[in-house]
Amino acid sequence: MDIQSKIILISGPTASGKSEQADKLAMKIGGEIINADSMQVYKELKILTARPSNNSKIKYHLYGFLSVKKNFSTGEWLKLTLVKIKQIKAKGKIPILVGGTGLYFKSLVDGLAKIPNIPLKFRNSIRIEHSKIGQKKFYKKLLKIDPKIKNHFNPQDSQRTLRAYEIKKFTKVSMIDWFKKTKKHFENKDFIKIYFDIPRNILIDRINKRVDRMFASDVEKEVKKFNSLKVKKDNSANKVIGIREIDEYLKKKATLLETKEKISIKTRQYAKRQSTWSRKHMSSWQFIDPLNVVLTRKFFK
């Protein structure tokens, strides 16, 4: 295998050790790392998102560069990532993409539909309607105007429900039909796709230890600063696990032990959703146990 011509993708659930192995791999094969985690783009949330420190000699891209006051779409990530891949390859280096956001990887591998920009005012009016009637009724409303969408994502997924509704309402074309027009930027042979499938009991232990490290690193200060920025409720940064729980702790509505447990449970639930999504959408990836496999140049032969 000519690894020099490849783009290496490393995914897996949160706390599975992706960043550590990717850093070591990059050192060994002459790679540079590109972030593929939707929450690690925010500069003000380093501790909560477990953003890698980048203390090595490896060059990192698209980490901690965006204000929490700004939303960031998959399309925006893809646009920046395509530029970074080109720049890295031009230097004779190997791009290594690391993260747990499945949609980011899917957009890179399968391409992303070129859906027209939908005005913010139009999108906000739909979100107001959604908040009034709730997800269950809104999803039924979506199926009435776009029956093609049925069975394409979880009916409880409010973000994708809203996206599908606004696309159909604004463009008069189903999101499914937009996806069919999608063009790929790369061939499948251009990628090496690796998924870290770590045993559940070990993953839970890692998550618990990560939560402890967060508080040892003064995560409360990070949340206080976040709160002072008055980020709008519909901004993506509010979805970072721990913000709400630590805010309640700061208001003395919960003990430290209760707060840690809540964050740990939410993180475990998120990791489970990541794994479920990956098994459905990443069937062509190599699933490995990172505890038994070390990524080196030899691994790719």
What would the pLDDT profile of 82-134 be if each residue is shown by its tens digit? 999 999 999 999 999 999 999 999 999 999 888 888 988 899 999 999 999 99
| 120-180 CATH fold | Histone, subunit A (1.10.20)
Phi, psi for 79 (deg, rounded to 5): -60, -45
Q: What is the mean pLDDT of the chain?
A: 93
- At 278-287, the pLDDT tens digits run 998 999 999 9
Give the pLDDT of residue 233.
Answer: 83
Domain boundaries, the chain: 3-113+186-199+276-300, 120-180, 200-274
pLDDT score at 114? 82
Of 67, 74, 2, 64, the closest CA to residue 33 belongs to 64
3-class secondary structure per residue, the chain: CCHHHCEEEEECCCCCCHHHHHHHHHHHHCEEEEECCCCCCECCCCCCCCCCCCCCCCCEECCCCECCCCCCCHHHHHHHHHHHHHHHHHCCCEEEEECCCHHHHHHHHHCCCCCCCCCHHHHHHHHHHHHHHHHHHHHHHHHHHCHHHCCCCCCCCHHHHHHHHHHHHHHCCCHHHHHHCCCCCCCHHHEEEEEECCCHHHHHHHHHHHHHHHHHCCHHHHHHHHHHCCCCCCCHHHHCCCHHHHHHHHCCCCCHHHHHHHHHHHHHHHHHHHHHHHHHHCCCCEEECCCCCCCCHHHHC
Taking CA atoms, 196 is separated from 189, 209, 279, in Å, by: 20, 19, 12
Q: Is domain 3-113+186-199+276-300 annotated with CATH 3.40.50.300?
A: yes
Read off the pLDDT of each residue in 168-188 and give the average, rounded to a whole number. 90
Strand partners, 94: 31
Q: Please tell us whether the domain made up of 200-274 is placed in CATH 1.10.287.890.
A: yes
At 125, the amino acid letter reads: S
Query: Which two tokens mark 195?
Result: 């998924």
Total length of the chain = 301
Q: What is the pTM of this model?
A: 0.85
Predicted pLDDT at 148: 94
Q: Do the first three CATH levels of 120-180 and 200-274 match, i.e. the same topology?
A: no
